Structure formats: structure tokens, C-alpha cells
């Protein structure tokens, strides 16, 4: 279930496209805005009328209004229907990260101060290159790519916590064992675990980068990987949100559009020193019309999503380049 702030910003963005005042929209609860329960309308009422999320509501509403007026967007034509995705998972191999759909055509992703591009299993990202069914989990990545370092860290944690009742081998941990470790390690690594975790982190980063390089064989595969990371797919869509410097209002190109404007020169990946396993990625791009070169960069963090040893690790892709500087992310006109 999305957090309350996410819910408010997504719904307020949609409501802002309807051409109504805030008071009129909340009083009328327009039927054009579907999938909104009475409980959520009450949340929006509180946010709009000075509640804790008032500033989020206001900025999201302004983005919706801007999309209504934009030449690239609705061009002043009020929607007949605004659908909110909410908590439901999209079926199949999702490419467009849409939160709203307007008139069955306009797809909108709401990104309010978020740099996250993709959240996937490491095997799905590094081995499968984000191809195929979304959500494939794969093996416990730490055990798959750095088994010795993973076992050493587990052994140190087991010893420091005095938990001789736990299995000898980290691969034999049951879910109840993982939950126990997650709780007892919630305050941080015990002294003897610090160096062991640093060794694991370095080994996982190096092995993950190497597996990624092997999977990224041809130039075409590297170009497609960059598109998948940047969520550039066959359907055009829009990003409405906020960044540290102000509103974020973008039209996202398709691969067809992208190749009209840009050419990929290189896509590189390297392990990156950090407190947790991290792999940096960098694309060098040339503008076809000016020959100017541009760089878009980001990183992958490989970490437990539910606390130390709590569950197999995930790979979370971040964009380090400001959104407005990414080739293929065009300012909304």
C-alpha cells in the first residue's frame, strides 16, 4: 500500500487536471476521478485545508493544472476520466511506471522528491537485464556471488549474539531465524561484524559489476539496458512531481524518439566504494543535431530490504543526474 504522502500527491495531481477549484473539487468529489474511496476523500480534505500534507497537496495540484494547460498535455481539454493505479500491481512486464491514466491515453508517473528508478531482484537486474516478467526474485544474491564473505559475516553475527541455536550455515536459515537476526541486529553491526560486512560489501559490488558486464554483451544490449533503467519504453508518458530545485514536469521519450535525437557512445558499470554493496553506471550520449556530448549517471544499491538477514537482498537503481538533464526527458511545453 502506498504511503499517505504518496497517495495525496498522486490523487491531487489527478484532481488538478480537472479544471476545478480545490474547494469545488473536494465538495463535488467529481465522478471523473475514479477509484477514490470516501476515506481517501477525507484525507484529501484534511491535506487541502491546512493539514500536515498541505504543501504536498498544493504542489501536486499545481502540477495537475499545468498538465491541463500544457501543449504537450491536455491543451485545456478537461478529462472525461482520471484513473488512479493506487496499490494494485500492474500485470505482466511493466515498462511505464504510471500512477495515473487520463482518458485511457495519457500516462502519468508521479515523482515527488524521488530518485529511485527501479526496485528489482539483483538477478533480474544484473543477469536478466530487466527483461522478462517483472518481479522475478532469483537466488539469495549475497550467497550466489560472495558465499565465503557472506558465511563469514553470518558466523561473526551468530558468535557476537551468542546464538548457537541458529544453523551453522547461512544457507540453512529459516524465515523465523531471519526474523530473529533482523530484530537483534536492528541497532547496528556488533564490533566483530564491521570488517566482515565491509568485506562482503566489496565482494558483492565487484561480483555484481562483473556479472553485469558479462550480460551486457553488444552495444545494442547496452543501449536497451540504459532505456530500461531510465524507464524509457514503447509508450510515451509524463512525469509530474518535484525536485530539490522546484516542480518536475517532463515528457518521457520512447526509444523511437530517443534515437531521433541521441546516439549512445558508451554504457559503463563499475563497483563503487560505499557503506553497502554499490555499483555505479554511466552512459555517454551524443546529441545528433549539435554533436554535444552528455552524461547520465546513477548507481545500484544492493541491500536487505527488511533489515539485516531479514530477506534476500534487492537491487535499487537510483538516478544521480538531475531529471531535467537526462537525454530523452523533455521539459513539458
Q: Give DSSP secondary structure letters for 37-103.
A: -HHHHHHHHHHHTT-TTHHHHHHHHHHHHHHHH-TTTTTT---S-EEE-TTPPPPSS--S--SEEET
User: What's this model's pTM, rounded to 2 decimal places?
Assistant: 0.93
Are residues 315 and 300 in contact, defined by beta-carbon separation less than 8 angstroms?
yes
Q: If we measure between CA atoms, which residue out of 189, 270, 255, 228 comes closest to residue 94?
A: 228
CA torsion, points 227, 230, 233, 237, in degrees to nearest 10? Answer: -150
C-alpha cell at 4: 499517505
The pLDDT of residue 132: 75
Partners of 89 in beta bridges: none
Phi, psi of 30 (to 5 degrees): -55, 135
**Torsion sign over Cα 268, 269, 272, 275:** positive
> How far from the centroid of its chain's Cα atoms is residue 219's Cα?
25
Helix (H, G, I), strand (E, B) or coil at 241: strand
The pLDDT of residue 136: 60
Q: What is the pLDDT along the chain (333 residues), one digit of tens a residue?
A: 568 999 999 999 999 999 999 999 999 999 999 989 999 999 999 999 998 999 999 999 999 999 999 999 999 999 999 999 987 665 555 568 899 999 999 999 999 989 999 999 999 999 999 997 655 667 899 999 999 999 999 999 999 999 999 999 999 999 999 999 999 999 999 999 999 999 999 999 999 999 999 999 999 999 999 999 999 999 999 999 999 999 999 999 999 999 999 999 999 999 999 999 999 999 999 999 999 999 999 999 999 988 999 999 999 999 999 999 999 999 999
Q: How many Cβ atoms sit within 10 Å of the Cβ of residue 193? A: 23
C-alpha cell at 318: 537510483
Phi, psi of 246 (to 5 degrees): 140, -165
Helix (H) / strand (E) containing 249? strand 246-252
Q: How many Cβ atoms sit within 10 Å of the Cβ of residue 148? A: 10
Amino acid at each position: 500500500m502506498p504511503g499517505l504522502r504518496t497517495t495525496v500527491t498522486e490523487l491531487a495531481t489527478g484532481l488538478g487536471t480537472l479544471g476545478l477549484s480545490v474547494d469545488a473539487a473536494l465538495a463535488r468529489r467529481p465522478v471523473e476521478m475514479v477509484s477514490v474511496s470516501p476515506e481517501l476523500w477525507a484525507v484529501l480534505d484534511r491535506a487541502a485545508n491546512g493539514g500536515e500534507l498541505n504543501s504536498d497537496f498544493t504542489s501536486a495540484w499545481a502540477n495537475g493544472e499545468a498538465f491541463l494547460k500544457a501543449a504537450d498535455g491536455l491543451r485545456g481539454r478537461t478529462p472525461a476520466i482520471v484513473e488512479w493505479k493506487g496499490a494494485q500491481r500492474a500485470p505482466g512486464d511493466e515498462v511505464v511506471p504510471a500512477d495515473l491514466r487520463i482518458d485511457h491515453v495519457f500516462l502519468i508517473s508521479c515523482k515527488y522528491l524521488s530518485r529511485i528508478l527501479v526496485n528489482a531482484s539483483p538477478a533480474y537486474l544484473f543477469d536478466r537485464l530487466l527483461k522478462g516478467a517483472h518481479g522475478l526474485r532469483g537466488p539469495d544474491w549475497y550467497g550466489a556471488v560472495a558465499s565465503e564473505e557472506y558465511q563469514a559475516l553470518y558466523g561473526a553475527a551468530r558468535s557476537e549474539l551468542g546464538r548457537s541455536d541458529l544453523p551453522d550455515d547461512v544457507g540453512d536459515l529459516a524465515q523465523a531465524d531471519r526474523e530473529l537476526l533482523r530484530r537483534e541486529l536492528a541497532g547496528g553491526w556488533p564490533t566483530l561484524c564491521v570488517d566482515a560486512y565491509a568485506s562482503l560489501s566489496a565482494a558483492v559490488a565487484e561480483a555484481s559489476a562483473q556479472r553485469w558486464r558479462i550480460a551486457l554483451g553488444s552495444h545494442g544490449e547496452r543501449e536497451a539496458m540504459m532505456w530500461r533503467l531510465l524507464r524509457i519504453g514503447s509508450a510515451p508518458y509524463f512525469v509530474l512531481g518535484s525536485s530539490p530545485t522546484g516542480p518536475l514536469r517532463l515528457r518521457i521519450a520512447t526509444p523511437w524518439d530517443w534515437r531521433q535525437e541521441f546516439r549512445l557512445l558508451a554504457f559503463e558499470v563499475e563497483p563503487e566504494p560505499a557503506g553497502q554493496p554499490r555499483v555505479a553506471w554511466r552512459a555517454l550520449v551524443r546529441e545528433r543535431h549539435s554533436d554535444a556530448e552528455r552524461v547520465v549517471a546513477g548507481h545500484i544499491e544492493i541491500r536487505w530490504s527488511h533489515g539485516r538477514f531479514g530477506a534476500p537482498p534487492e537491487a535499487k537503481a537510483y538516478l544521480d543526474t538531475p531529471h531535467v538533464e537526462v537525454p530523452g526527458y523533455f521539459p513539458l511545453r
